[in-house]
A and B are shown apart, each in its own frame.
Chain A
Amino acid sequence: MERNREPGRSVAAALVAARASQTHAPRQPLASTRDHNARTPNNPTQQPTANSRHMTSAIELRHISHAFGGGAVSVLEDVTVTAEPGQFVSLVGPSGCGKSTLLRVLAGLLVPSAGDALVDGQDVRGRPGAVAYMPQKDLLFPWRRALANATVGAEIAGQSKHDARERARALFPRFGLAGFERAWPVQLSGGMRQRLALLRTFLVPRDVLLLDEPFGALDAINRREMHRWLQEVWAADQRTVLFVTHDVEEALVLSDAVYVMTARPGRIQARVDVPFPRPRVPSLVTDPAFVALKAQLLTELDRGMPPA
């Protein structure tokens, strides 16, 4: 694959252009988004709840519990997760621990049995539309060509179809989809479908991204390539990301903080801050500090598993 000499540049420019036409107020620069006191709220109409008067986190899940089947099967127990504006936060846990259920709560598609779910200080329980959500399945629209699939979110948000398509077209090469603009989803390989779903999520004009195992269907080599450019793409506009994975290394490479969850019913086993400076180079994974942190996360994961 031919690489740009400044790979971050073109993507950054395209995404910044994409964000400039958003319906939301533009985000604060990175420096101030990290400083809660200096940050101006995105949305002037938000109503701060009693517990969050001193600051507004981008994502705040407080004491979430959930049970399916009328309380018969408990999937989440007292889960509290916070992501500050501009942070990249991962949830790591064994299959079936309720990671995806948490994302569905934040996407407004599932009302939890108990607990609060806030995005930018707004209650999102049963109120979809506050975040850009990428489910685990690629869920492409079979009746839309690749380019039209990429722009669905922007179209639903009321953006001009033409502008959205032009922006998406500019991003196709970076997502490894050049030349496939007019392909139908059935004509794309699994990896391409996944990348197209990711591009679609990025083009949803929201400040918070929820990504549910976006690279689960990719092989290890493709994954590392995707990690590299996801960091670039994310660095371009520093949206808040909540990232679900069961790959500890992936979580560490990408995140500012990692939550480790237990097996079902899912609880938070540990929260680990990831201090490595950005941009993170691929060789980071062999760094002793990285390895030590990985070992710590794996230990926490094991402690969260049911006794054999």
Chain B
Amino acid sequence: MTPAPGARARPSPLARAGHYAAEYLPPAALLVALVAGWELWVRAFDTKPYVLPAPSRVWDAFLETRGVLPGHIRTTMAESLLGLFFAALIGVGLAVVIALVPFVRRVLYPLLIVSQTIPMIVLAPLLIVWFGFGMTPKVIVVALVGFFPIVVSTVDGLTNADRELVGLVRSMGARRLAVLRYVMLPSALPGFFAGLKIAAAYAVLGAVIGEYMGGSSGLGLFITRAQTSFRVDRVFVAVVVVALASMALFAAVHIAARLATPWIYVSKSEEGTK
């Protein structure tokens, strides 16, 4: 038997290091260049720190706030994770009902789209009026932002399940629920994770917006305090932390997707090997 055309020997460690360098070096170099340019700009034109702080000043601000930041990060991450959890729960639940009952789909879909046109800046203060200054309104904001991409992509996955595969399990005696379990839900898993990734990317931002409108802890509150005392350098610290937190959450979902849908990541070049 001849080897499959895509089959190759495992690359050497050196070759792999080279591969990673080629992949990650250009974006890293660009980032360094941008930060360096920013620093130079601020020094050259003597820009006031309350207009635009230099990266070095932002770093100093980070060192100053090192003690209080973890508590705020914990609050914001807890809200983000809880919000994502409810977004996934509600998203999948709605997706299943929408995919199985055409009537619900017709009734609910326009409403779902309307729910996404409400600006969170408008809704968040109202939620605080309704639910107080605790975590609840923030979790709701995150869930509201996150459930929509999850519903849309999960419904797609459920309704695009291979019709012939559905026919096959029906021929084996599967009723509606068994068809859902054996074909539709597994088919929807990749779509669900695609939606969850989008939701994860916006979750931290949602929580921060919620906190921005009022709260006792969290990165949003940290930003509000920094702004009212004209500490723009601290605002930048928070911005960087939010970006890193969002990336971490996104990466976590990506890893979860790999673990939950391993067949997607099987290389076809392994065909015919044991």
**Per-position 1/0 for A140-180, Cβ under 8 A of B:** 01110000000011011100000000000000000000011
How far is it, in angstroms, between the C-alpha of A131 and the C-alpha of B168 when the chains are bound? 11
How far is it, in angstroms, between the C-alpha of A133 and the C-alpha of B189 when the chains are bound? 27
Say whether, besides A129-B173, A157-B172, A139 and B189 are in contact (CB < 8 Å): no
| CB pair A128 B170 closer than 8 Å | yes
Q: Which 6 pairs across A and B sit closest by C-beta, in order of nearness?
A: A129-B173, A107-B171, A133-B171, A143-B186, A156-B172, A128-B170
Q: Which residue of A lies closest to B187 (CB)?
A: A143
Q: Which residue of B lies closest to A109 (CB)?
A: B167
| CB pair B274 A129 closer than 8 Å | no
Interface residues in B230-274 by Cβ distance below 8 A to A read 261-263, 266, 268, 270-274
Q: Which residue of A lies closest to B189 (CB)?
A: A143
User: From DSSP, what is the main secondary structure of chain A's interface residues?
Assistant: loop
| CB pair B271 A187 closer than 8 Å | yes
Residue A135 is within 8 A (CB to CB) of chain B in the complex: yes
User: From DSSP, what is the main secondary structure of chain B's interface residues?
Assistant: helix
| CB pair A204 B172 closer than 8 Å | yes
Residue A188 is within 8 A (CB to CB) of chain B in the complex: yes
User: Measured between C-beta atoms, what is the minimum distance from A207 to chain B in Å?
Assistant: 13
| CB pair A179 B162 closer than 8 Å | no
User: Measured between C-beta atoms, what is the minimum distance from B80 to chain A in Å?
Assistant: 29
Q: Which residue of B lies closest to A129 (CB)?
A: B173
Residue A184 is within 8 A (CB to CB) of chain B in the complex: yes
| CB pair B169 A152 closer than 8 Å | yes
Give the number of residue pairs across the A-B interface with Cβ within 8 Å.
75
Contacts beyond the supplied A139-B164, A183-B274, A204-B172: 10 A-B pairs with Cβ under 8 Å: A107-B171, A133-B171, A139-B168, A141-B165, A152-B182, A156-B173, A156-B174, A156-B182, A179-B274, A186-B268
| CB pair A133 B266 closer than 8 Å | no
Residue B33 is within 8 A (CB to CB) of chain A in the complex: no
B-chain residues with CB within 8 Å of residue A142 when the two chains form the complex:
263
How far is it, in angstroms, between the C-alpha of A132 and the C-alpha of B170 when the chains are bound? 11
| CB pair A156 B178 closer than 8 Å | yes
Contact of A189 among B178, B263, B271 (CB under 8 A): B271
Residue A98 is within 8 A (CB to CB) of chain B in the complex: no
Task: List residues of B whose CB falls within 8 A of some A CB.
Answer: 162, 164-165, 167-174, 178, 182-183, 186-187, 189, 261-263, 266, 268, 270-274
**What are 26 A-to-B residue pairs whose CB atoms are below 8 Å?**
A108-B170, A108-B171, A109-B170, A128-B170, A129-B173, A129-B174, A135-B167, A139-B162, A139-B168, A141-B183, A141-B186, A142-B263, A143-B187, A143-B263, A152-B182, A156-B178, A157-B173, A180-B274, A184-B263, A185-B263, A186-B263, A187-B266, A187-B270, A187-B271, A188-B271, A189-B272
A-chain residues with CB within 8 Å of residue B274 when the two chains form the complex:
179-180, 183
Q: Which residue of B lies closest to A182 (CB)?
A: B274
Interface residues in A36-77 by Cβ distance below 8 A to B read none
A-chain residues with CB within 8 Å of residue B164 when the two chains form the complex:
135, 137, 139
B-chain residues with CB within 8 Å of residue A185 when the two chains form the complex:
263
B-chain residues with CB within 8 Å of residue A137 when the two chains form the complex:
164
How far is it, in angstroms, between the C-alpha of A186 and the C-alpha of B269 when the chains are bound? 9
| CB pair B270 A143 closer than 8 Å | no
User: Measured between C-beta atoms, what is the minimum distance from B51 to chain A in Å?
Assistant: 54
How far is it, in angstroms, between the C-alpha of A143 and the C-alpha of B257 when the chains are bound? 13
A-chain residues with CB within 8 Å of residue B162 when the two chains form the complex:
139
A-chain residues with CB within 8 Å of residue B261 when the two chains form the complex:
143
A-chain residues with CB within 8 Å of residue B168 when the two chains form the complex:
133, 135, 139
How far is it, in angstroms, between the C-alpha of A128 and the C-alpha of B176 when the chains are bound? 12
A-chain residues with CB within 8 Å of residue B268 when the two chains form the complex:
186-187
Say whether, besides A135-B164, A139-B164, A189-B272, A152 and B171 are in contact (CB < 8 Å): no
How far is it, in angstroms, between the C-alpha of A184 and the C-alpha of B262 when the chains are bound? 9
B-chain residues with CB within 8 Å of residue A139 when the two chains form the complex:
162, 164-165, 168
How far is it, in angstroms, between the C-alpha of A143 and the C-alpha of B183 when the chains are bound? 9
User: Measured between C-beta atoms, what is the minimum distance from B175 to chain A in Å?
Assistant: 9
